[in-house]
A and B are shown apart, each in its own frame.
Chain A
Amino acid sequence: MKIENIPQDIGGLANANMKELCYGVDKDGNYTTKLSNGWNVKTLALNKSLELIDERVADLKQQCLAGKISPIPYYMELNRMDLMVLSGYMNKWQWVIKRHFKPSVFKKLSNATLLKYAETFKIDVNQLKDIAL
């Protein structure tokens, strides 16, 4: 890639006032670096993957409102976590967390556990119990 051809597409990076370092060759064929505002091709890939997360969040919200699942998987997805990450922050086994996905088990959780979930998701306990809040 020639240094003058490094894409400067205004995308996600530019909004955050961030530039990334890219490598290219100058007129004499020597390698050098230049800051880039971003590249549409990869901004699109990133946006598509964020859209997919949004879709999953929306789907889990519906399931939760319909009473099929507890609010835990919804908040987990909202925070871009997976079971491994959440079990790490909760300091509990993954299968224990998975059980909390059931509304019947979730209802019986102790206040301490609920509080820990709320802290992990950076919300309060009322929001944790009712995702409509």
Chain B
Amino acid sequence: MKIEFNHRQSAHCENGVIANLLTHHGFSMSEPMAFGLGSGLFYVYLPFLKVNFAPGFSYRPMPGFIFKRLCKRLNITIKREKFKNPLKAQKALDSKLQSGIPVGLQVGVFNLVYFPDEYRFHFNAHNLVVYGKEKDNYLISDPVMESVTKLSTKELEIVRFAKGAVAPKGHMYYPIKFPKKLPLEKAIKKAIKATCRDMLAPVPIVGVKGMRTVAKAIKKWPKKIGVKKTNHYLGQIVRMQEEIGTGGGGFRYIYAAFLQEAAAIIDKPILKEFSKELTKIGDQWRDFAIDASRLYKNRSSEFDGYTKVSNKLLTLADNEEDFFKRLKKAIK
């Protein structure tokens, strides 16, 4: 069986699955709109959570948050199921496909056979859509891939039951109830307000305050933990900012695209100006990544290089603080 499903590639898997599933159910939605409505833009520093022997830096909220917030704001009901028994998980999936419903799945990346080796880590919060089954093969729409792909029953079972942090446990989900008309205007305003609140949160590891904490730490790291480890940490920052499906500039460009789209929907042309400004901030994030990469490329031990990178991040924090304060006022 094969369900008619329109595969669109996206920068990030979670936004992509949401946008593609909603579009399938007749509510046309772009990736930036899904990202914005779920208040996807974020910054958090998790010094104690060690990922690959470096602290955690994230430019987005916890996996699943974007989807949850979006559904709440749009009055969409999602059915979620988890399983202990792989066979039951497979049967539940098959029966949904049988009744013509494409299903979202949470999977682990390490055993995804179509992923390049370099990207296969034990990361368990990847999302994809299953839109059919042909003999022993499931038809897969993975939003970070250019085109649709396939996984055998065994291959799919392995990734659905990957182990480790946030193990998926066969997690599958699909929308079951929609309002007649999506309350877009209300949701957009609410979502932007929430993003402003997150970015301006009075918490030292969150939002612009989190950036400042990291900036200060970058200055201290070379002396405290040595140049090699510092460079590894900087590499981790750059990877989280640019690599993990952020669409560039730590999601700033996607959010700028959302603001541009939102301007027309809620009839607030000023958001277009905000979009332009955020694009420039995104460019500054790219510059920051370039400067950081110079440090770990040359293995130079010049401490003023680190001070320079740190200052760049402090400037970014100032610019974003100013940006979100004004955005908050504009959306009121």
Binary contact readout A52-78 vs B (1 if CB under 8 angstroms, 0 otherwise): 110000000000000000000000000
When the two chains form their complex, are residues B32 and A23 in contact, meaning their CB atoms are under 8 A apart? yes
Minimal beta-carbon separation of B279 from chain A (angstroms): 6
Interface residues on B, range: 35 or more
When the two chains form their complex, are residues B163 and A42 in contact, meaning their CB atoms are under 8 A apart? no
Is A39 an interface residue, CB under 8 A from the partner? yes
When the two chains form their complex, are residues B11 and A23 in contact, meaning their CB atoms are under 8 A apart? yes
Minimal beta-carbon separation of B242 from chain A (angstroms): 4
**Inter-chain contacts of B289 with A (CB < 8 A):** 41-42
When the two chains form their complex, are residues B290 and A12 in contact, meaning their CB atoms are under 8 A apart? no
Please choose the segment from B84-92, B113-121, B182-190, B216-224 that sits at the chain A interface, where 4 or more of its residues have CB less than 8 A away.
B113-121
Give the docked Cα–Cα distance between A77 and B297 (Å): 24
**Inter-chain contacts of B279 with A (CB < 8 A):** 1, 25
Is B73 an interface residue, CB under 8 A from the partner? no
Interface residues of A in 98-132 (CB under 8 A from B): none
When the two chains form their complex, are residues A44 and B293 in contact, meaning their CB atoms are under 8 A apart? yes
When the two chains form their complex, are residues B11 and A21 in contact, meaning their CB atoms are under 8 A apart? yes
**Inter-chain contacts of B257 with A (CB < 8 A):** 23, 31
Q: With A23-B32, A85-B164 in contact, is A1–B253 under 8 Å at CB?
A: yes
When the two chains form their complex, are residues B146 and A45 in contact, meaning their CB atoms are under 8 A apart? no
When the two chains form their complex, are residues A23 and B146 in contact, meaning their CB atoms are under 8 A apart? no
Give the docked Cα–Cα distance between A42 and B249 (Å): 12
Is B148 an interface residue, CB under 8 A from the partner? no
When the two chains form their complex, are residues A45 and B296 in contact, meaning their CB atoms are under 8 A apart? yes
Is B271 an interface residue, CB under 8 A from the partner? no
When the two chains form their complex, are residues A48 and B120 in contact, meaning their CB atoms are under 8 A apart? no
Give the docked Cα–Cα distance between A61 and B236 (Å): 25
Q: With A1-B248, A24-B253 in contact, is A31–B243 under 8 Å at CB?
A: no
Binary contact readout B119-138 vs A (1 if CB under 8 angstroms, 0 otherwise): 11110000000000000000
Interface residues of B in 194-253 (CB under 8 A from A): 231-232, 235-236, 238-239, 242-243, 245, 247-249, 253
Interface residues of B in 260-283 (CB under 8 A from A): 260-261, 275-276, 279, 282-283
When the two chains form their complex, are residues A19 and B146 in contact, meaning their CB atoms are under 8 A apart? yes
Q: With A15-B116, A23-B248, A80-B121 in contact, is A1–B286 under 8 Å at CB?
A: yes
When the two chains form their complex, are residues A22 and B118 in contact, meaning their CB atoms are under 8 A apart? no
Interface residues on A, range: 35 or more
When the two chains form their complex, are residues A12 and B164 in contact, meaning their CB atoms are under 8 A apart? no
Is A35 an interface residue, CB under 8 A from the partner? yes
Q: With A30-B260, A85-B163 in contact, is A42–B11 under 8 Å at CB?
A: no
Q: Which of B165, B254, B275, B297 contacts A44 (CB 8 A)?
A: B297
When the two chains form their complex, are residues B248 and A22 in contact, meaning their CB atoms are under 8 A apart? yes
Give the docked Cα–Cα distance between A23 and B163 (Å): 33
**Inter-chain contacts of A40 with B (CB < 8 A):** 293
Give the docked Cα–Cα distance between A98 and B257 (Å): 48
**Inter-chain contacts of A42 with B (CB < 8 A):** 238-239, 242-243, 289, 293
Is B95 an interface residue, CB under 8 A from the partner? no
Minimal beta-carbon separation of A121 from chain B (angstroms): 12
Q: With A80-B121, A85-B163 in contact, is A31–B275 under 8 Å at CB?
A: yes
Is B316 an interface residue, CB under 8 A from the partner? no
Is B17 an interface residue, CB under 8 A from the partner? no
- Could you write out 17 A-B pairs with CB less than 8 Å apart? A1-B249, A18-B146, A20-B11, A21-B11, A22-B247, A23-B247, A23-B248, A35-B146, A41-B238, A44-B235, A45-B236, A45-B238, A45-B293, A46-B239, A48-B231, A49-B232, A52-B52
Residue positions of A touching B, CB distance < 8 A = 1, 6, 12-13, 15-16, 18-25, 29-31, 33, 35, 39-42, 44-46, 48-50, 52-53, 80-82, 84-85, 88-89
